[in-house]
Amino acid sequence: MRKSVWCLGGDGWAYDIGYGGLDHVIAQGRKINLLVMDTEVYSNTGGQASKSTPLGASAKFAMAGKSTPKKDLGLMAMTYGTVYVARVALGANDMHTVRAFQEADSYSGASLIIAYSPCIAHGYDLVNGLEQQKLAVQSSAWPLYRFDPRRVGTPEPPFKLDSGAPKIELSQYIYNETRYRMLEKMNPARAKKLLELAQAEVSMRYAAYEQLSKLAVSKSPATPGAPAEAKP
């Protein structure tokens, strides 16, 4: 039986200090499976902000609330057109998570799965982790999707947005967590402003994903395993 081999890392590595290496690897078109356990913070340094930390969240060295949006690692990987990319949340949709892993493992090129990962630095009782994942998806703070290059050149769009339109306001998700409530207590005016910006950013990003989900690509790029064009 063929073994399924995966490279595992956190968001501090994938989004920040190791991004150059990750980007180099996925650009090669080689068969490799990468799993990013995204806690949205540098967990091993006591909760330090990273490029994965969402707008408005408080963290070490960002106690006043992060003022810039979360880096979209998945979208950046999709720009190659030859990398399988998925964003999953096991607690919100286990079947979607299993399907993404199966598709990624069966793909002949590079695959990247970004997984919602609860962390004590979020500041809520982790016994409620599954419910919090559902709220993250329902608010579209963590939309679920799959980008499969094998659908390029078919009637199906390569990008599939697997979570529906936002069902709840962002505040119903984030204010269950101390990393957001902390700022609300210390500086209500700033917290309100950052919440407005974060809600707008989440809505804008979802709208962009929605447009991608309607885009069928008729001409296939050089996908892994495809014969290269003959040089003159």
For residue 220, the model assigns a pLDDT of: 52
Residues for the chain: how many in total? Answer: 232
Rounded to an integer, the average pLDDT of 69-83 is: 97
For residue 59, the model assigns a pLDDT of: 85
CATH code for residues 7-212: 3.40.50.970
* Structure token digits, residue 42: 């540098």
Q: What is the DSSP string of 156-198?
A: S-SEEE-S-S--S-HHHHHTTSHHHHHHHHH-HHHHHHHHHHH
For residue 71, the model assigns a pLDDT of: 96
Task: Assess contact for 216 and 155: CB atoms under 8 A.
Answer: yes
Mean pLDDT score of the chain? 91
Task: Assess contact for 114 and 36: CB atoms under 8 A.
Answer: yes
CA 4 to chain centre: 22
Distances from the Cα of 68 to the Cαs of 45, 139, 194, in angstroms? 20, 19, 10
**Percentage of the chain with pLDDT > 90?**
81
Q: Which residues contact 91 (CB under 8 A, 6 or more apart)?
A: 116, 129, 130, 131, 132, 133, 134
Over residues 185-230, the pLDDT tens digits come to: 999 999 999 999 999 999 999 999 999 999 987 765 555 544 334 3
Q: Which residue has the tokens 């989900």?
A: 213
Q: Return phi, psi of residue 100, to 5°.
A: -65, -45
Over residues 138-186, the pLDDT tens digits come to: 999 999 999 999 999 899 999 999 998 999 999 999 999 999 999 999 9
Question: What long-range pairs does 200-205 form, CB within 8 A, spacing at least 24?
Answer: 201/55, 201/69, 202/139, 202/140, 202/141, 202/166, 202/170, 203/140, 203/166, 205/72, 205/140, 205/143
Rounded to an integer, the average pLDDT of 77-95 is: 97
